A and B are shown apart, each in its own frame.
Chain A
Amino acid sequence: MTKFLKNIVEHFCFLLVMILSAVVFFQVLNRFILKGPWAWSEELAMLLFQWVVFLGAAVGVKRMSHFGIDLVVEKLSGNTRRCLELVVPIAIGAIALTLIIEGFKLLKLTQNQVYTTMPFSHAWATAAMPVSGFLMILYLIQREVKIWKKKEEEQSA
């Protein structure tokens, strides 16, 4: 159960991508075979896409999949390196915080914009950003704690 909760964001990503693929595929089928207009499928797909992107980006922080240039830092050693390595989580954290605070403001602004084909507001898509920011910070803390614990163990051993 705890394992399920630990990877719950990944489970959501899985579901979202599967539903997204299905929605787009049925839109294609619908256009060619059923010929009935399914106008909401495009807007629904875009809504799901926003969630895939921002949840995926958050898991990307957990797995450190976002690419950067490690050429300079690799060459350094000692305290300079340790200091510079701290900048990375701080920079990511700053953006995550911006996503939470400013994303929430944007969410309030989009509350009144209702989708043309679906009976709810754009805030449902915008919400992906503050959620993503929150998760990024969670993952960053988790990571730092893990690194810190490892150092403790090394010192005691």
Chain B
Amino acid sequence: MRIRRELWFGFSLMAIIISVIVIFMPWGNLTNGHLGLLMLALIVVGIMLGFPTAFTLMGMGVFFAWLAYRSVNPDLAVAQVLDLFVQRSYGVMSNDVLIAVPLFVFMGYLVERAALIDRLFRALHLATARVPGSLAVATIVTCAIFATATGIVGAVVTLMGLLAFPAMLKAGYNIKVSAGCVTAGGCLGILIPPSVLLIVYGATAGVSVVQLYAGAFFPGFMLAGLYLGYVIVLAKWKPALMPPLRPEERSVPLSSAMQRLTEYGKHAVAGSLRALRSDSSAVPKRTAFAQFFISLLPLLTIAALLALTYDVATKRAVEVSTAGLELSTGSDGTDSSSQGGGLQEPPADSGGLQEPPAESRGLQESPGEKTQTQGVGAAAGELKETTPELPKPAPAIDQAPTAKTDAVPSTAQAAGRLPTPNWFWITLAICVVVLAIVYALWTWDRLQVFKMLLTSFFPLAILILLVLGSIVFGFATPTEAAAVGAFGGFVLAVVYRSTEHWRAVPQGQPKSQAVGSTLKELGRILKESSFLTAKTSAMVCWLFVGSAIFSAAFALLGGQELVEKWVLSLDMTPLQFMILAQFIIFILGWPLEWTEIIVIFMPIFIPLLPHFNIDPLFFGLLVALNLQTAFLSPPVAMAAFYLKGVAPPHVTLNQIFAGMMPFMAIQVIALVLLYTFPGIGLWLPQVLYK
């Protein structure tokens, strides 16, 4: 019976469109503009018939373009259509925005095949064990991170359906809630940059992808945050839906070496130090030191980040700095410490001054210079630790190798610094407090969870942040960042696959086996990812080839003018227009896919925006948020079908749909929030690019 209902839905939609055409077309005197509208209505019907959309667009575009040219000069029509078509196609082939599509898609496939999702989920599951609805929270966070890096809805929902869905059901979670988390979380990759949807929108609407990425950053995290908030509140409010985890599900597996280390005290930092000092050989010194070092990583990272912030915040824009010059500020540091023994700031200040050299080099040489920044981090860390206790950081600074360079440029350099802004001290204070809390609670269990996160969560997060950061801060174009991201994805695949193979070698066998099997698998991963990339980019880009001629025909026929005249005659306020536009897109999201909606319908909406004073960038963010619902709205909700494909047989499609509903409601709330407070999306692009 269900199938009938589906057919009815489609048929009635088609019937409505066709009857509207039949009734409202002025059949007596058809102008070209009316032909354009007819074409638009026919394309919706044509797409719903299920023929590959790219070719529907191509065929119709060619035919209607010919009609348009024929009405002007029948003799030249064919030649003109052919010219237009091939030039438009070549335009797609040489489009410098769309070129990022295959690269991001490739990155996604590589990251997916690195197969780190189960580690990621396990680590997050343990990390969130105490939060209400912990498994649901872990699911959404895993989805957000993984979907962001891969952007493949189908694969993310399927994988989470295999990993998180069973875990939640076994823990006694409600089926609907579990299904909702997996499907809604899996779709987050559509919105959170780097997403292919935003590139496609940018290419269609002529909006800078860089600004779109900067703009979509906060709305994306706001949506994820709303999901999390909903789940946590629900778990608190109705614990029966998401019972707390049983102790055995929460226990953190410790390695035998770490178990022995626990004898030296509960606290991991103190314990590992004690183990380092003790004479007993129960625990190898190397292990103890490794634990100690890993424990220090958060401190070092935050110190490095603070130092970098300090450097950026106090640097004069014009300054051209060389490493030698800046290192020499060490001598200046001695001055300041001798002046102000009582003052707290100066020492820290001089500490800050000492750091820039490597940093500014890091800046010049830019991404990928990890070792260097780490080195700085370590240096900064030492300084930060020493400054509160000792009022004279000078000795440490004197060790700087080039500190002997003459003092003249150094003072000029010091004068070149801007005064430290207040917010920096506030941030510093917050960081110190947070670090203090973290280290107060730093038990062995938490250290172990941190280690698990270190091998799953952080590499992905760093990859995403590097790609996004280099785009947003202008170090690289989206294309370049995508390529480097794809390369990074490959590195991830290499690292994760080789460790897996390394561990899989049975005890006593030579480890060299692992090399062969790893290489074989990497070859397979590269091959499969390339083929899939070719298919996906051909799918997206041929759609553009089709729509290029289609939208040209629409413009030639004057359909656009007619639409504009009609919309303006309605005399709507911007708010009404916006609601109408979003509502149409929402409705179109039921039968159509997002690629089709953006490629076919955005060219119609975009020219209307200036009439209502709407920023195309802002409109794009709303559309991206809106199209999230397209994945969750029945009957064509792809996410639901992917989950159904791997769920236990007794989970019905209706249960999954019911589970998705609250999340759809949250999406609508997010849409309203973004519209009411445009700053959520527009603040970052404005700060960075205006």
Chains A and B belong together in one complex: no
Which residues of B are in contact with A by a Cβ distance under 8 Å? none
